[in-house]
Structure 1
């Protein structure tokens, strides 16, 4: 019996992944990150598994683990195993991948579609650049501050 590909399931239960995925080769492992190639026993499909631990600075005891699974073609598996192809997240994760979400499920995420988080990050970067330019200019008079505030929050 041929099982359904994980790529055809919209919301994948973590238990299903635990049953079907097996490690093939560890690529990198540190205290906070893991990259490994895993294989779906049911379909033979391969995935790049990226796991990382986030430590909450405000609550030193709180740690959260996050997991991402990027589908790999046969050529990509060979490239990772034998050619040292790059695989770092997020730089090389340009196609849809599974990421763990609330309530024990993994959901598909398309990095081609900017998320609210990504848009907020871009806005933060824009503000940071404006602030750095303001500091470099060295003019801190009222007119300069007013101009900066208008650039940061244009009310059209």
Structure 2
């Protein structure tokens, strides 16, 4: 019955099953609290924030929105946060998949690891662009020179993992 096994978690399930264990931080715009699923006994770091729709100020019917995110916590995480030894702020300390709600109100799993991959791919792209600029500066555009250049670019990457060696 764990939400970790669900692809989509209805907001009604969150409202029925989630209870606050301790509020960690609360302001006009943000809330952090440790919460517990009453059914599975799993703990979550609940982060809620108010999104002020500045672009719609003065527009009839425009409203601020509150978004919620739930980061699964293991026992060590709960203790570390409760004893103020473990940082927990979003986004810098949210490195594993977490639940977040969307416009329809239901929660979906979001994996933040794509950001690290994206940065790595950008780095690879910059490296290739630099290699290409150096190649062009050399002025030898013969078929053999192009072959050596491409071979060198290929040699710098592991085709199994798509990662630069």
- TM-score relative to the length of structure 1: 0.69
Unaligned residue ranges in structure 1 (runs of 5+): 123-156
In the other structure, the counterpart of 1:6 is 3
Describe the superposition over 1:32-83 as per-residue Cα deviations: whole angstroms up to 9, x where unpaired: 0000000000011000000000101122352011100000000000001113
Within 1, Cα distance between the matches of 2:24 and 2:43?
14
Describe the superposition over 1:130-152 as per-residue Cα deviations: whole angstroms up to 9, x where unpaired: xxxxxxxxxxxxxxxxxxxxxxx
Within 2, Cα distance between the matches of 1:62 and 1:77?
34
In the other structure, the counterpart of 2:134 is none
**Number of equivalences:** 115
Q: Return the match for 1:37 from 34, 50, 56.
A: 34
Q: What is the deviation of 1:16?
A: 0.2
In the other structure, the counterpart of 1:110 is 111
Q: What is the deviation of 1:102?
A: 2.9
Partner-residue secondary structure (3-state), 2:115: coil
- TM-score relative to the length of structure 2: 0.66
Within 1, Cα distance between the matches of 2:44 and 2:24?
12
Within 2, Cα distance between the matches of 1:110 and 1:75?
21
Which has more radius of gyration? 2
Unaligned residue ranges in structure 2 (runs of 5+): 123-165
